[in-house]
């Protein structure tokens, strides 16, 4: 246990030594908050899903801080710099990625180092995109929107090139160990720049999902500016999300060397974060379902808010999902809407914890009200919380949500905005140190920032090793890292401006396990017990520590007893010396009778022998007590089957007392008296008194030794039992861990099976619906057929009655046959008459034909006469004309 504790301490110190990293991450959160506060906004009520409001007057100090913060993106750039506004920066990292035929020259360096870490860089892009989407108008008002677009594209260009295929993503450029052995400007670095990637064999769900979130959010930013680039970003985002979800696993597990710098504590929050951004970017309800009913119960931590950071996106996801709740969405089920409300309720708990006078306010604050969670990079939680608070405040105002209830007490959106202002004002100088923690802002700010490019003069000719003189220099940085946000104050609100004060001078990311645990503690109480796994792992260590303390106490008592024995033996030896001196005096002073002298000499001699015998007994007893098995035999301790260890009185081990009762050692036992009497004969009263007192002392020491031996045996037995329990517990924990892993694998298999089954069930459902519809149509046809059958029956009845009537008519006709014969005769007569009439008709027709022929002849004659008349008429006209001419 002690060795493990020592190794953990060594590992923790190593982690702290490299916990330097968050300047850019916290700066981007500060940029977002500054953008929100730059303009005083007069909100108008609107049902729009965009944070709206007509611009008000510009707040000068926030405008200046925003412009200053944006400069830090230029300071951190890698690659071929165009229109470079930073005079002490130049081109660098131009060959990054060339060994894999990739162009990874762009991107941003991490903090004051020269490494490109994909995980925090993607987080930077996501938060910057969010700030542009919500507060682009404010940025535009102070002429920083184009700068923000350019800085964002510098990152996304790098991320696109780092994703050469759907299931492959390069997540790091450079070797941190090599980098930390040098102190040099990025423009002159010459060391190797190896690449690290994740793929299907070495998955990294967390970093892949964060990169998907960055590209999805950036696609929204560039949608109206550059539609083709926006579509490219969205394609990469969807591919990366599918890769992250299909091949699940933390990149810290797949690639252990990254744990020292940006260790990830889980990937569930990144999956929800990415799915939420993809829903906003595409409107596809598949992503919404993913973040609610499908994976919300497993990953969302509803009801347990946590601090927003590059490693924990829960709080930000809750606020982003609350945006949907505020402004509404269509076509969601009741279950999905309930999950959406859980996101919003958790976001409200987070907001209530931020408000200083809320009944549920977090105690993680300094005396001046700054949110302070951990000593490493304490400002990261303050500015990130301020950003979420001002976002939520604006969502409430835009959606006409007037009140936030915190455990029965109501607050307005302005209360959240005032909290955000208090955090930003603290950073800008309204603090006990009366200094700005934003480099370059105001008249008093940190001068010794832990930053390579800032600490080395631009014209200095230094290499890898000789550059450390600038790190250790007592002079302020020659180049101002404008816009950098340092780590922040201690809990007592003091700050040490020193380049080697890596805890406060740089943005600490502290990826080690020890501080990561603090970053993920429950929001409402920063002293809450960590996860159950941590609690379990601490139990055996606590037991062992307690056992070691108790055993060491017994050993201490035993050593003290041995010291007492030595002192007692020395006293007895001194008594022997005194007796010998008295004996000599007696020999010299013998003047009485020889008989009295002999008696007195015999008494003295008996006392000397008795004392020597007892001293010898004590020495042998002490030697026996030093040997465990001999001590057991001497004390009468033995092993009985079914009982265990028992003492000489038959008392089992469980009944032994832990305390030594000295009152039980006052008188020697009877066997001891008998032994001494036999050895020395009858004793007079004086000898008996002397020997009795001596024997009492010896017996007390002996009994104390035996009692201590019993206590040691008892302690060893209990220690062995506890160690066995610890071993069993550890084995049980291993078994449980294996079971949990197996259950996780089975759960993943069940999820995949459920997804497949869901498709089959959907298909079967469609088939059943088709069958139901066909059955309905058949029932309608059956009803129609039944109606047709009834109509046929009615027609058959009518036909039957008609046939009956025909039969009746036939009978009537048969009875009238004679009448028919008479009629037949009359018919024959009628036929003859008709024949006669027809012949007459033929004659008449012949006559008519003749008349018609005559009529034709008369018509022809008439026509002839008319022609003659016309000819005569024409002659008359000619003659009249001739007469007129004459």
Region of 191 on the Ramachandran plot (φ > 0 left; ψ -120 to 50 alpha; else beta) = beta
* Distance separating alpha carbons of residues 419 and 438, to the nearest angstrom: 19
* Distance separating alpha carbons of residues 582 and 607, to the nearest angstrom: 12
How far CA 877 is from CA of 155, 867, 869, 885, 886, in Å, comes to 113, 15, 12, 12, 14
Helix/strand/coil percentages in the chain, nearest 5: 65, 5, 30
Take residue 717 and report the two structure tokens written for it: 């037995």
Beta bridge partners, 639, equal: 645
How far CA 198 is from CA of 119, 157, 725, in Å, comes to 12, 19, 42
Nearby residues of 700 by Cβ (< 8 Å), 6 or more positions away: 662, 665, 666
Burial environment of residue 1 by CB neighbours within 10 A (0 to 12, 13 to 18, 19 or more) = middle
Residue 793 half-sphere exposure, CB side, CA atoms within 13 Å?
6
Burial environment of residue 188 by CB neighbours within 10 A (0 to 12, 13 to 18, 19 or more) = middle
Take residue 233 and report the two structure tokens written for it: 């970003």
Region of 56 on the Ramachandran plot (φ > 0 left; ψ -120 to 50 alpha; else beta) = beta
* Distance separating alpha carbons of residues 548 and 816, to the nearest angstrom: 140
Burial environment of residue 19 by CB neighbours within 10 A (0 to 12, 13 to 18, 19 or more) = buried
* Distance separating alpha carbons of residues 542 and 530, to the nearest angstrom: 16
| Strand segments (E) across 353-489 | 404-406, 409-411
Phi, psi of 409 (to 5 degrees): -105, 140
* Distance separating alpha carbons of residues 527 and 781, to the nearest angstrom: 74
* Distance separating alpha carbons of residues 28 and 76, to the nearest angstrom: 12
- Is 680 an active-site residue? no
Vertex 101: Cα angle to 100 and 105 (nearest 5): 95
* Distance separating alpha carbons of residues 357 and 406, to the nearest angstrom: 10
* Distance separating alpha carbons of residues 524 and 522, to the nearest angstrom: 6
Q: Which of 450, 451, 520, 632 is flagged as catalytic?
A: 450
Which H or E run contains 171?
strand 169-173
- State in Å, rounded, how far the first CA of the chain is from the last one: 162
> Among positive and negative, which fits the CA dihedral 767, 773, 774, 776?
positive
* Distance separating alpha carbons of residues 261 and 115, to the nearest angstrom: 11
**Inter-residue contact 402 to 396 (CB < 8 Å):** yes
Strand pairing category for 169-173 and 195-198: antiparallel
Take residue 53 and report the two structure tokens written for it: 């409001």
Phi, psi of 345 (to 5 degrees): -65, -40
Which H or E run contains 42?
strand 39-42
Catalytic residues: 450
């Amino acid at each position: 246990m002690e060795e493990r504790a020592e190794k953990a301490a060594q590992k923790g110190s190593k982690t702290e030594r490299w916990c330097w990293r968050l300047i850019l991450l916290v700066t981007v959160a500060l940029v977002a908050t500054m953008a929100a506060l730059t303009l005083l906004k007069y909100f108008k009520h609107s049902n729009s899903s965009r944070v709206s409001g007509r611009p008000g007057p510009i707040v000068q100090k926030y405008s200046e801080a925003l412009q200053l913060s944006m400069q830090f993106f230029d300071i951190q750039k890698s690659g071929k710099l165009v229109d470079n506004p930073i005079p002490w920066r130049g081109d660098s990292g131009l060959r990054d990625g060339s060994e894999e035929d990739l162009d990874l020259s762009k991107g941003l360096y991490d903090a004051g180092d020269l490494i490109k870490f994909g995980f925090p860089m993607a987080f930077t892009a996501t938060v910057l995109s969010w700030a542009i989407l919500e507060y682009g108008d404010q940025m535009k008002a102070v002429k920083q929107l184009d700068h923000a677009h350019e800085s964002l594209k510098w990152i996304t260009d790098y991320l696109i090139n780092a994703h050469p295929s759907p299931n492959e993503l390069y997540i790091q450029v450079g070797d941190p160990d090599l980098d930390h052995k040098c102190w040099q400007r990025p423009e002159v670095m010459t060391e190797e720049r190896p690449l690290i990637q994740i793929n299907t064999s070495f998955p990294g769900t967390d970093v892949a999902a964060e990169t998907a979130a960055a590209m999805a959010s950036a696609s929204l930013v560039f949608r109206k500016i550059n539609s083709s680039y926006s579509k490219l970003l969205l394609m990469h985002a969807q591919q990366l999300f599918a890769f992250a979800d299909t091949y699940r696993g933390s990149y810290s597990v797949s690639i252990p060397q990254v744990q020292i710098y940006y260790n990830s504590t889980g990937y569930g929050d990144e999956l929800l974060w990415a799915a939420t951004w993809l829903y906003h970017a595409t409107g596809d309800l598949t992503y919404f379902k993913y973040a609610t009913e499908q994976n919300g119960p497993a990953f969302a931590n509803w009801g347990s808010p946590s601090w927003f950071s590059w490693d924990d996106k829960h709080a930000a996801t809750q606020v982003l999902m609350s945006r949907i709740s505020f402004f509404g969405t269509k076509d969601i089920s009741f279950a999905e809407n309930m999950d959406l409300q859980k996101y919003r309720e958790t976001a409200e708990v987070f907001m209530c914890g931020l408000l200083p006078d809320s009944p549920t306010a977090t105690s993680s604050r300094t005396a001046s009200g700054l949110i302070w969670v951990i000593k490493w990079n304490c400002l990261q939680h303050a500015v990130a919380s301020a950003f979420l608070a001002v976002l939520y405040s604006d969502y409430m105002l835009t959606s006409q949500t007037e009140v936030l209830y915190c455990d029965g007490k109501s607050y307005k959106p302005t209360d959240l905005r005032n909290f955000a202002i208090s955090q930003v004002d603290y950073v800008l100088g309204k603090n006990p140190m009366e200094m700005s923690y934003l480099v370059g802002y105001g008249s008093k700010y940190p001068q010794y920032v832990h930053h390579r490019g800032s600490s080395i003069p631009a014209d200095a000719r230094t290499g890898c090793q000789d550059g450390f003189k600038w790190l250790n220099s007592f002079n302020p940085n020659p180049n101002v890292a404008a816009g950098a946000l340092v780590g922040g104050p201690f809990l007592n609100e003091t700050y040490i401006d020193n380049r080697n004060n890596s805890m406060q001078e740089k943005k600490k990311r502290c990826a080690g396990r020890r501080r990561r645990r603090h970053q993920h503690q429950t929001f409402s109480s920063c002293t809450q017990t960590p996860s159950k796994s941590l609690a379990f792992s601490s139990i055996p260590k606590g037991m062992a520590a307690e056992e070691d303390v108790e055993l060491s106490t017994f050993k201490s008592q035993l050593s003290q007893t041995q010291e007492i024995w030595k002192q007692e033996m020395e006293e007895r030896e001194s008594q022997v010396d005194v007796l010998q001196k008295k004996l000599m005096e007696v020999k010299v002073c013998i003047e009485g009778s020889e008989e009295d002298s002999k008696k007195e000499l015999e008494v003295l001699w008996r006392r000397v022998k008795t004392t020597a015998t007892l001293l010898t007994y004590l020495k042998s007893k002490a030697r026996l007590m030093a040997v465990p098995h001999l001590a057991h035999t001497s004390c009468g301790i033995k092993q009985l089957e079914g009982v265990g260890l028992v003492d000489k009185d038959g008392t089992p081990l469980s009944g032994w007392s832990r305390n030594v009762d000295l009152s039980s050692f006052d008188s020697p036992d009877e066997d001891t008296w008998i032994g001494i009497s036999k050895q020395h004969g009858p004793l007079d009263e004086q000898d008996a008194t002397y020997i009795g007192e001596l024997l009492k002392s010896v017996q007390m020491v002996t009994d104390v030794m035996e009692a201590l031996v019993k206590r040691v045996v008892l302690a060893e037995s209990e220690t062995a039992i506890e160690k066995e329990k610890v071993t069993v517990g550890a084995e049980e924990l291993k078994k449980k861990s294996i079971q949990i892993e197996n259950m996780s694998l089975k759960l993943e298999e069940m999820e995949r099976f459920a997804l497949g089954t869901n498709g089959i069930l959907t298909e079967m459902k469609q088939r059943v619906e088709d069958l139901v519809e066909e059955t309905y149509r058949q029932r309608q046809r059956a009803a129609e057929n039944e109606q047709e059958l009834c109509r046929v029956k009615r027609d058959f009845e009518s036909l039957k009655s008609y046939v009956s009537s025909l039969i009746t008519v036939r009978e009537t006709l048969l009875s009238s046959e004679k009448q028919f014969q008479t009629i037949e005769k009359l018919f024959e007569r009628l036929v003859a008459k008709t024949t006669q009439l027809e012949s007459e008709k033929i004659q008449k027709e012949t006559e008519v034909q003749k008349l018609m022929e005559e009529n034709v002849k008369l018509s022809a004659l008439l026509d002839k006469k008319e022609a003659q008349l016309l000819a005569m008429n024409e002659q008359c006209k000619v003659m009249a004309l001739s007469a007129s001419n004459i």
